[in-house]
């Protein structure tokens, strides 16, 4: 198994929450960690199905939520009301810029942002849990943008 450390974290989390430890859940974990980029629950379900997995859609959905709870995945919303997930495991904290025309998602890390959520919480008397910072923009190169929209539809 490639992601032993992640499995260990997940197993511990399931145990502590009195959740059932099933091979299906670990199968979802493996696929989720291997997925390149951001994915919806249905994207993952379709991928697993096409790889002959027998995991049910409901299991995919509820396992993804468990993986968010134990922080192996992040759940993102890029303004279109579809929850997307991405692996946190062995990845750096980052933020996103989304093209509102073609939906391209660009990841970035900017050190200027790093301490802002924490310091705002502190000022307001809160303890930071998580934050999301999304920039919505338009591709400057219209040609590229159109190309993206054709590819994705
Ligand atoms: Zn991302
Ligand atoms: Zn675009």
- Looking at 66, 91, 116, the residue that finishes a domain is 91
Q: Is the pLDDT of residue 41 over 60?
A: yes
Tell me what the mean pLDDT of segment 145-153 comes to.
Answer: 56
Which ligand ends up closest to the CA of 143? Answer: 2
Cα of 38 vs centre of ligand 2, distance in Å, is 17
How large a percentage of the chain has pLDDT more than 90? Answer: 76
CATH number for the domain spanning 119: value is 3.30.1490.190
Cα of 75 vs centre of ligand 2, distance in Å, is 22
Cβ count near 72 (within 10 Å): 22
Mean pLDDT of the chain: 91
- Looking at 44, 60, 91, the residue that finishes a domain is 91
pLDDT in tens, 107-125: 999 999 989 999 999 999 9
Which ligand ends up closest to the CA of 152? Answer: 2
The rounded distance, in Å, linking the Cα atoms of 71 and 89 is 8
What is the predicted pLDDT for the residue at 149? 45
Tell me what the mean pLDDT of segment 99-110 comes to.
Answer: 92
DSSP letters for 57-114: HHHHHHHHHHHHHTTSEEEEE-SSS-EEEEE-TT----EEEEETTT--EEEE--GGGT
Which ligand ends up closest to the CA of 101? Answer: 2
Which ligand ends up closest to the CA of 149? Answer: 2
The rounded distance, in Å, linking the Cα atoms of 134 and 103 is 13
Question: What is the tally of structural domains in the chain?
Answer: 2
Cα of 94 vs centre of ligand 1, distance in Å, is 6
80-111: string of b/e by CB count within 10 Å (b at 16+)?
A: eeebbbbbbbeeeeebbebbeebebbeeeeee
The rounded distance, in Å, linking the Cα atoms of 55 and 60 is 7
What is the predicted pLDDT for the residue at 135? 96
CATH number for the domain spanning 84: value is 1.10.10.10
Confidence of residue 132 (pLDDT cuts 50, 70, 90): confident
């Amino acid at each position: 198994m490639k992601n032993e450390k992640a499995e260990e974290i997940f197993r511990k989390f399931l145990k502590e929450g009195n959740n059932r430890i099933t091979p299906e859940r670990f199968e979802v974990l493996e696929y989720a960690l291997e997925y390149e980029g951001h994915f919806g629950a249905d994207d993952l379900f379709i991928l697993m199905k096409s790889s002959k997995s027998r995991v049910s859609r409901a299991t995919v959905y509820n396992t993804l939520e468990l993986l968010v709870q134990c922080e192996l995945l992040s759940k993102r919303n890029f303004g279109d009301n579809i929850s997307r997930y991405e692996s946190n495991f062995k990845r750096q904290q980052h933020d996103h810029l989304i093209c509102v025309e073609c939906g391209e998602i660009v990841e970035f890390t900017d050190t200027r942002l790093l301490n802002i959520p924490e310091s705002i919480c502190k000022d307001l008397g809160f303890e930071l849990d998580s934050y999301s910072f999304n920039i919505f923009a338009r591709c400057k190169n219209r040609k590229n943008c159109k190309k993206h929209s054709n590819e994705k539809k």
